[in-house]
Amino acid sequence: MKNPGGEKRKVEVLEGVFDANEMIARENQELLQKNKACMVNIMASPGAGKTNLIMRTLESIGQRFSCAVVEGDIAGKVDAEKIAGDGFPAIQINTGGSCHLEAKQVKSALERLEMDKLDLIFVENVGNLVCPAEFSLGEDLKVMILSVAEGDDKPLKYPLMFRESDVLIINKMDLLGFTDFELEKVKPLVRGMNPSIRMFEISCREGTGVEEWAKYLEDVITKKGESGGA
């Protein structure tokens, strides 16, 4: 015989998971606020260019700001080793199968960093266009990357990611002419979902457009450092 209350208890447990995550995310926000450090959550599908964007951005602003990177992957430490090889503190989080990072994992990483010496922490989330948008980490900015190679239908297939993000990076613009990606179709579609979103068109491979994005991020970091709030 089925338990008539079983479904209700399942919903209560799920809500408890989100509630616990939000509580720890607020603790992360408080830690960042205390140290006037900015945290940026980078989200995208696998292969869209998360690590390359981080490395290009560090090339641009890494001499003016003290930066660190938290790398989230299901397994391995390849990306963290790349970042560390460029001289930046890097902490690897392996989720062991989970499709997203949670606030408690990021909190553990922040506690291992010298927060009082940092201006910027990049968090590279697990490659996924669904789950990362649902879990706050306490970040100052949610940044989503969409590569032109993925197609221009992603806003329709994964609307929550586009609604939740503060910034959309359209990457691999050097490949635009070799794809069916319609840039002027995507931009108004995304703007209709999220009127306040900032968009940047870049090519991590060639470096074009990176400076405009880096300047925007530099302004966010400076504002956080001066006022204690992004």
Nearest C-alpha neighbor of 206 from the set 65, 44, 46, 49? 49
Domain boundaries, position 59? 6-227
DSSP character for 199? E
Q: Is residue 1 one of the residues assigned to a domain?
A: no
pLDDT at residue 2 greater than cutoff 50? no
Q: How confident is the model over 95-136, as pLDDT tens digits? A: 886 788 999 999 999 999 999 999 999 999 999 999 999 999
Our count of domains for the chain comes to: 1
Q: Is residue 172 one of the residues assigned to a domain?
A: yes
pTM, whole model, 2 decimals?
A: 0.89
Helix, coil or strand: residue 170: strand
Categorize the per-residue pLDDT at 183 as very low, low, confident or very high, splitting at 50, 70 and 90: very high
Q: Residue 174: which CATH number?
A: 3.40.50.300
Q: Is residue 186 one of the residues assigned to a domain?
A: yes
Q: How confident is the model over 28-82, as pLDDT tens digits? A: 999 999 999 999 999 999 999 999 999 999 999 999 999 999 999 888 888 899 9
The rounded distance, in Å, linking the Cα atoms of 119 and 151 is 35
Place of tokens 């504002």: 223
